[in-house]
Amino acid sequence: EDGYWLWLRYDELPQEMRSQYRGQLRQIVLETEETPTVSVAARELSDGLSGLLGRNVPVSDEGARGAILLVTGEAASLYDLDLSDLGEDGYLLRTLTDGRRKLTVIAANEDDGLLYGVFHLLRLVQTGEDISDLNITSVPRIDIRVLNHWDNLDRTVERGYAGQSIWDWHKLPDYIDPRYTDYARANASIGINGTVLTNVNANATVLTPPYIEKVAAVADTMRPYGIQVYLTARFSAPIEIGGLETADPADPAVQAWWAGKADEIYRKIPDFGGFLVKADSEGQPGPHTYHRTHAEGANMLADAVAPHGGVVMWRAFVYSENNPVDRHMQAYDQFVPLDGKFRSNVIIQTKNGAIDFQPREPFHPLFGAMPETPLGMEFQITKEYLGFATHLAYLAPMWSEVLRADTFVKGEGSTVAKIIDGSLEGHEISAMAGVSNIGSDRNWTGSQFDQANWYAFGRLAWDPAAEPAEIAEDWVRMTFTGDDGAVGTILGMMMESREAVVNYMTPLGLGHLMGTGHHYGPAPWVSELGRPEWNPVYYHKADEDGIGFDRTKSGSNAVAQYSDAVAAEFADLEAVPEEYLLWFHHVSWDYEMPSGRTLWEELVHRYTEGVRTVSGWRGEWASLEGRIDEGRYRQVADFLRVQEKEARWWRDACLAYFMSLNGLDLPAGYAPPARTLDEYKAMVFPSAPGN
Ligand code: BDP
């Protein structure tokens, strides 16, 4: 047992769980044309149920008692099913009684919807739910639910902690690794319908003919699972691989080159999704070189893919040296003036927060500030800033916090989720992207628990209102065990985990204190890097008197980028939620917190709490020995030991550093840092991924 089978392990259920399904779920009957997608759906259902129920559940021609009907299109009217609100990907699960026969129906307009319905039914059985009277309708809120692989063509993965890239470019297109099929199954099981194969820090080579062949082979494997393939487009590709002298989007030759490139790709991959672009950001080329705007750049690519139905996901992750006062404000400053200037097939892909995937950030002020433009959400599944693969940090609560945040741009209830799904402003397209944590490790994600983040991303992209705890519980039951006591223990750890990481790394609204380059471990003292906003000291601004980034009127006034109601709350020292305190305010060390502690005492308390929580998990996990398989039990136990050690290191190094500035002692009862500040500063990590 090594985690390879993710949440799709169809092991036989215990007898008491199985018995309730005895009369139902006997055979699968297709009332639909047998397309490649219907075949994989039927096979998955048959394999899954046969495994779970410990008896053969075949695909058969006849709908006898206990049949599961897969129904699309016209056949639905035979059963009085109304599919009109299901769109392309939605589905119904119904129990029907036909005389004495009980039938389970999965119905959808399109084959992809059927496949999603199959996985839902399997999940119900995997988690032991009652299916005797089903009446479920499920329709995704977001159209494009896509993974972003930051995978390079040499198989290294930017911010990857799970081995090499799964895309084996050298052997493609001739050899199709069976893993690609398991990857597609796993994604389809959680509703993911797109994958960007390559890094946002892009390499134009992937757009050359041999690579287009390779991409087409991957696309062929993904297609039956309803997954479209996308690529990152390097803006300077017309120069690098096209022989042109410029990549100026206003140049007709450049436009023609991209249009021709799109035609070439679509000839090989008729359902190609489109391009993801990082431009004029961290050294990536873009339209600014030619004094053109992001809109001019994006529109050129949008025009190239539009005749084929493709989209352009243009990233808002930009910051330049020109506004050293507050990096937080730059994307808004650059993009808001362009609202209304983008083609209808452009989505502005925006990270959840304005800085960079920190353990906690307030929602990005762009959400709600570009009403005429569809904004897509970009979450980071890979844990670049939350402890890499070894730390347990279940991220759904963090994502959900942002999706539920209220922008107030159209009054109360203008949540980020409603902006993303297009409902607040009436957009036709919507997207949510997750920066993938998948690699060639046997367990796919570098740790057992990081599988849950992949899983939860898909579920939240389908339904941004889904409850993180319910998603986690499904995942635990499918992945580890159906034993209620064990489920409770694991779920408890998961639900505490993100807050624990915030506490031991960046409590009370701190951010970006991580080590230079690799982002491994604490380095709040770093101050000498080339650009001001690369240094942790730029973010915490701690000195003798206090700590925190003043983003109110007396500081950068970034709060003004939010709607009035939100700005007023964030700007008010008394009203700002504690978790964003130091994000928006520079506060004196002796400021009295709601707890009655001073800010300094509160900070020490939070750092200490973070470590304490992790230590507690080690005991809880130990109580599961023998109740889950040995292989996964051991790995998690070892990783928790690493996490405890590193949580301590984070706490001690940060406190040692802050004490060196404020000259304060630790409050009574709190252990001193294990080492001196100089010792922490002297630590180097040549083997940390990302070096
Ligand atoms: C940062 C990563 C960097 C990425 C960049 C991005 O450190 O590796 O290239 O984001 O999103 O978080 O483009």
Per-residue pLDDT of 573-584, as tens digits, reads 999 999 999 999
* DSSP reduced 3-state for 102: strand
Q: Which atom of ligand 1 is nearest to the CA of 278?
A: 13
> Any long-range contacts for 78-86 (C-beta under 8 Å, 24+ apart)?
78/31, 79/105, 79/107, 81/105, 81/107, 83/107, 83/108, 83/109, 85/137, 85/139, 86/113, 86/137, 86/139
Please give the pLDDT value at position 249: 98
3-state helix, strand, coil in the chain (%, to 5): 40, 15, 45
Write the Ramachandran bin of 41: left for phi over 0, alpha for psi from -120 to 50, otherwise beta.
alpha
Q: Which residues contact 185 (CB under 8 A, 6 or more apart)?
A: 8, 40, 44, 225
- Kindly state the helix (H) or strand (E) to which residue 108 belongs, with its residue range: strand 101-108
Q: Is the CB of 280 under 6 A from ligand 1?
A: no
CA atoms within 13 A on the CB side of 351: 22
Q: Give residue 518 CA to ligand 1 midpoint distance, Å.
A: 11
Q: Give residue 357 CA to ligand 1 midpoint distance, Å.
A: 9
Q: Give residue 359 CA to ligand 1 midpoint distance, Å.
A: 15
Please identify, in words, the CATH class of the domain defined by 144-466. Answer: alpha beta
Residue pair 225/189 in contact (Cβ under 8 Å)? The answer is no
CA distance 444 to 441: 5
Residue pair 188/226 in contact (Cβ under 8 Å)? The answer is yes
The residue contributing the CA closest to ligand 1 atom 1 is: 356
Distance, C-alpha 251 to centroid of its chain? 36
Question: Which strands make up the sheet holding 91-98, listed edge to edge?
Answer: 59-60, 27-31, 67-72, 101-108, 91-98, 135-138
Q: Is the CB of 200 under 6 A from ligand 1?
A: yes
CA distance 161 to 136: 38
Neighbours of 254 (CB within 10 A): 22
Q: What is the number of residues in the chain?
A: 691
- Kindly state the helix (H) or strand (E) to which residue 403 belongs, with its residue range: helix 396-404
Q: Give residue 560 CA to ligand 1 midpoint distance, Å.
A: 26
Q: Is the CB of 571 under 6 A from ligand 1?
A: no
The residue contributing the CA closest to ligand 1 atom 10 is: 356
Q: Helix/strand/coil (H, E, C) string of 618-670?
A: HHHHHCCECCECHHHHHHHHHHHHHHHHHHHHHHHHHHHHHHHHHCCCCCCCC
Domain chopping of the chain, boundaries = 15-138, 144-466, 502-549+586-681
CA distance 305 to 311: 7
Please give the pLDDT value at position 149: 98
Q: Give residue 19 CA to ligand 1 midpoint distance, Å.
A: 50
CA distance 649 to 651: 5
CATH 3.90.1330.10 for domain 502-549+586-681: yes
Which CATH homologous superfamily contains domain 15-138?
Chitobiase/beta-hexosaminidase domain 2-like (3.30.379.10)
Mutate to test the pocket of ligand 1, among 152, 317, 435 (most ligand atoms within 8 A of CB): 317
* DSSP reduced 3-state for 145: strand
Q: Is the CB of 385 under 6 A from ligand 1?
A: no
Model confidence over 168-209: pLDDT tens digits? Answer: 999 999 999 999 999 999 999 999 999 999 999 999 999 999
Q: Give residue 90 CA to ligand 1 midpoint distance, Å.
A: 34
Q: Cα(first)–Cα(last) distance of the chain, in Å? A: 32
Q: Where are the beta strands (DSSP E) in 204-318?
A: 228-232, 274-277, 311-315
Q: Is the CB of 690 under 6 A from ligand 1?
A: no
Q: Is the CB of 520 under 6 A from ligand 1?
A: no
Q: Give residue 199 CA to ligand 1 midpoint distance, Å.
A: 10
Q: Is the CB of 512 under 6 A from ligand 1?
A: no
Tokens of 495: 């639900």
Q: Is the CB of 534 under 6 A from ligand 1?
A: no
Q: Is the CB of 361 under 6 A from ligand 1?
A: no
The residue contributing the CA closest to ligand 1 atom 9 is: 201
Q: Is the CB of 516 under 6 A from ligand 1?
A: no
Nearest to 587 by CA among 499, 509, 677, 664: 509
The residue contributing the CA closest to ligand 1 atom 13 is: 200
Residue pair 37/225 in contact (Cβ under 8 Å)? The answer is yes
Q: Give residue 479 CA to ligand 1 midpoint distance, Å.
A: 30
Neighbours of 555 (CB within 10 A): 18
Please give the pLDDT value at position 23: 85
Mutate to test the pocket of ligand 1, among 379, 384, 512 (most ligand atoms within 8 A of CB): 384
Q: Could you say which residues of the chain have pLDDT below 70?
A: 63, 321-324
CA distance 467 to 474: 11
The residue contributing the CA closest to ligand 1 atom 11 is: 317
Q: Which atom of ligand 1 is nearest to the CA of 378?
A: 11
Q: pTM for this one?
A: 0.98
Q: Is the CB of 518 under 6 A from ligand 1?
A: no
Q: Which atom of ligand 1 is nearest to the CA of 519?
A: 7
Q: Is the CB of 606 under 6 A from ligand 1?
A: no
CA distance 35 to 39: 6
Please give the pLDDT value at position 323: 64
Nearest to 128 by CA among 495, 476, 448, 454: 476
Q: Is the CB of 367 under 6 A from ligand 1?
A: no
Please give the pLDDT value at position 114: 98
Mutate to test the pocket of ligand 1, among 148, 149, 150, 203 (most ligand atoms within 8 A of CB): 150
Q: Give residue 34 CA to ligand 1 midpoint distance, Å.
A: 43
Q: Which residues are catalytic?
A: 282, 356, 384
Nearest to 511 by CA among 451, 579, 561: 579
Q: Give residue 688 CA to ligand 1 midpoint distance, Å.
A: 16
Residue pair 231/198 in contact (Cβ under 8 Å)? The answer is yes
Residue pair 541/549 in contact (Cβ under 8 Å)? The answer is yes
Residue pair 663/544 in contact (Cβ under 8 Å)? The answer is yes
Angle between helices 252-268 and 294-305 in degrees, nearest 10: 40
Strands 91-98 and 101-108: antiparallel
